[in-house]
Chain A
């Protein structure tokens, strides 16, 4: 636990260092208003990464989140076009439900048919994108077709921060509560850290994985509406490849790809780290190639950290094995 806490401290330090470096070249970047904008811009990543974190904790992976986001977004946009008077609350419920159903499909395939999660979600990722094409015939839905209430919701400012940012904070708080204080949250850690022991303890590992996928899907659905309404456009390839950013945020945030290790705080910091890089590099005039390379390097450094902490763990286990023989 102390190891993880220090990892979060390191990440916080890295983000601060990054901000200081940027500030030396472009002081305007660290102005409160701009930092808030960066936070707001990173909100969808944070929401998706929290869902992904739960899935990775249970030794799975969800590659379909970006496709889920795009399909949910398209459904919301088409509903808005068909029924412009539909309140945003209804749209939100539809978005959450759509996302949850898509997550449940992933979860059921993993749980009941025992197909490896990477295969399941690679498949559903393509299927969900395909369904968008079927629904929209490949056509775009643009801002002028959407109602002002639909597109205005995520941008509405409360205390200077748009609703989008507030929702990210709300989701973070909710996930923190679930992970720390509910039997379900505990079961995610147990199922991923030692599935055998979890089974003996009375935890249904398959059900825990199913629930994780439903959470991930639901959050992807929420992000779907927010994304489409914020950018006021919906099309087949929206947020293409974004699932990799989501996984990267988790990994940078210290979520072990082997399962069972990771925290809400770490995941949020991982997402913010990527968010700062993404927003700062164009400002300080670094070419897009370097942006990708820096993101990639950050992931490698994070993974190295993970495997190093894993190695310490291994040594302790070996010592007891040695004693046992």
Chain B
């Protein structure tokens, strides 16, 4: 499968055996990638395959530990983001950083504005050039309006114009359609075609198979930081691509214990939200681990936040052990026995300046207080019980959480929720961004919780984790449940198919 040069012709930009190591993780392990002039290359891979690391290597944010970067066949290096831009590599990121209070032209030329006399910014030239760029990509935007007056799609076009404001030969688009509506996506395709016609080499990163087959000329697959293969889109079909992307055995890594699955604990019926999700319904049994899989933006976290009362659903009923629970605030959810460990634990998890024991007892103060006053002894006892259970090592329970390591902070957050004695625990991307060793510990612990009769909902974008840990999987796509999979139906291929919306009879290139 290692067809390193699928076509003749010199690539504009090529990666040759690039390696990048972070403490504990080999993010890129000898990967190859070729970008050709006037062609779109789709980079495909699961989360954690190394796509973002490649983008950062190409744009000078990371320096590779080994391997060569070649431009027109000559070895180059990108010691800084500026160096990459100077050599004609530009990226449109997933979430573009733009400035609301500045004009469109200022946003486009921030950092490299045309200078006039005395080194002052030549606003007129800047505005004129910006307008030229915007017209060039077919954006009907006035370069002099302030960015905050534009909608999301227009902002995206401004970001693209900014990327093109340097003389670009290579344009990297990192999931450019993730935040766009259908109509805006169509417009983006037109723009991509225009860039191709100008002879730019385009690297297109996407999880959506329909768009890969629609606009890409070449493909390249990474898996777990390793190069799987690359070639021409015309020789490729969806089935093969999915298999290359996920192909691996997952059994041995995951310590899922068989747990006794008991009675129904949570039943959700017809949960709806005007803009984020529609008609979500499922049941969860005692001791079960229910996986929620989907692409980024499928509405999984949004639904979970609604289930615990951060946002309110427009419709829908949640029953816990048969009783209808009206959950309109996180406090209601805790009272109903549903707790949520958010994805962004640094921001949404712990109170860093509070000692460990106060963090743990924060949602359980009713339990540890009497006549309105907290009782220190009870707080310490409760905190100690759960901290010991999670094997959290700290000098004392009075230690500030901010002084702990990331892994231990996470343990504090989990201890906090377990101390409320929940019936259902929702873990949102529980192992995102933690090293392999900690991952195994989290998985082990999750298994243990289920074995003890707690019901777990695990939101995850990592297929091996979903496959290895879940008793049953719900796949969400575009705010709806696309499939419920268990037993033999549950395979990496079916997961990807349902998440990406590939129907069984669609095959090969759509166009």
Contact = CB atoms under 8 A, between A and B. Distances in A.
- Judge: A and B partners, yes or no: yes
Interface of A: 1, 177, 181-183, 186, 189-190, 193-194, 196-204, 260-261, 313, 316-317, 319-321, 323-325
**Could you say which of B348, B349, B416 has the most chain A C-beta atoms within 10 Å of its C-beta?**
B348
A324 B352 contact: no
B358 A202 contact: no
Nearest to B374: A181
B346 A320 contact: yes
A200 B330 contact: yes
B430 interface: no
B361 to A, nearest CB: 8
Given A183-B369, A317-B402, A324-B406, A202 B330 contact: yes
A183 B374 contact: yes
B372 A260 contact: no
A189 B353 CA distance: 8
Nearest to A262: B353
B350 interface: yes
**Could you say which of A182, A201, A320 has the most chain B C-beta atoms within 10 Å of its C-beta?**
A201
Given A201-B362, A323-B406, 18 more contacts: A1-B400, A183-B365, A183-B372, A189-B351, A190-B354, A196-B348, A197-B351, A199-B330, A200-B349, A260-B353, A313-B352, A316-B403, A319-B406, A320-B409, A323-B435, A324-B406, A325-B22, A325-B433
**Could you say which of B353, B369, B376 has the most chain A C-beta atoms within 10 Å of its C-beta?**
B353
Contacts of A204: 329, 331
A200 B342 contact: yes
Given A181-B373, A202-B329, A202-B334, A317 B351 contact: no
B434 interface: yes
A200 B346 contact: no
24 contacts: A1-B398, A181-B376, A182-B374, A183-B366, A186-B358, A186-B362, A196-B344, A196-B347, A197-B349, A198-B351, A199-B310, A200-B340, A201-B362, A202-B333, A202-B334, A204-B331, A260-B353, A316-B403, A320-B406, A320-B409, A321-B346, A324-B406, A324-B433, A324-B434
B503 interface: no
B353 A193 contact: yes
B252 interface: no
Nearest to B27: A325
Interface in B428-448: 433-435
A190 B352 contact: no
B337 interface: no
B422 interface: no
Interface string B310-327: 100000000000000000
Given A186-B365, A320-B406, A200 B348 contact: yes
B255 interface: no
A71 to B, nearest CB: 31
B505 interface: no
A200 B342 CA distance: 8
A167 B476 CA distance: 61
Interface string B410-436: 000000100000000000000001110
Q: Is the interface of A mostly helix, strand, loop or mixed?
A: helix
Interface in B349-398: 349-355, 358, 362-363, 365-366, 369, 372-374, 376, 398
Contacts of B340: 200
B111 interface: no
Contact of B310 (A182, A197, A200): A200
A189 B358 CA distance: 10
B181 interface: no
B2 interface: no
Given A1-B355, A186-B365, A317 B330 contact: no
B405 interface: yes
Contacts of A186: 358, 362, 365, 374
Contact of B354 (A181, A193, A321): A193
A189 B365 CA distance: 14
A323 B351 CA distance: 20
A313 B353 CA distance: 9
Contacts of B342: 200
Contacts of B352: 193-194, 313, 317
A303 B22 CA distance: 37
A209 B373 CA distance: 20
A202 B331 contact: yes
B119 interface: no
B23 interface: yes
A181 B402 CA distance: 22
A54 to B, nearest CB: 16
A190 B362 contact: yes
Contacts of A190: 351, 354, 362
B121 to A, nearest CB: 31
Contacts of A203: 331, 362
Contact of B405 (A194, A198, A200, A320): A320
Contacts of B366: 183
**Could you say which of A177, A197, A261, A320 has the most chain B C-beta atoms within 10 Å of its C-beta?**
A197
Nearest to A260: B353
Contacts of B406: 319-320, 323-324
8 A-B pairs closest in CB distance: A320-B406, A202-B331, A324-B433, A183-B365, A202-B330, A196-B348, A193-B351, A181-B373
Contacts of A202: 329-331, 333-334, 363
Given A190-B354, A197-B348, A313 B402 contact: yes
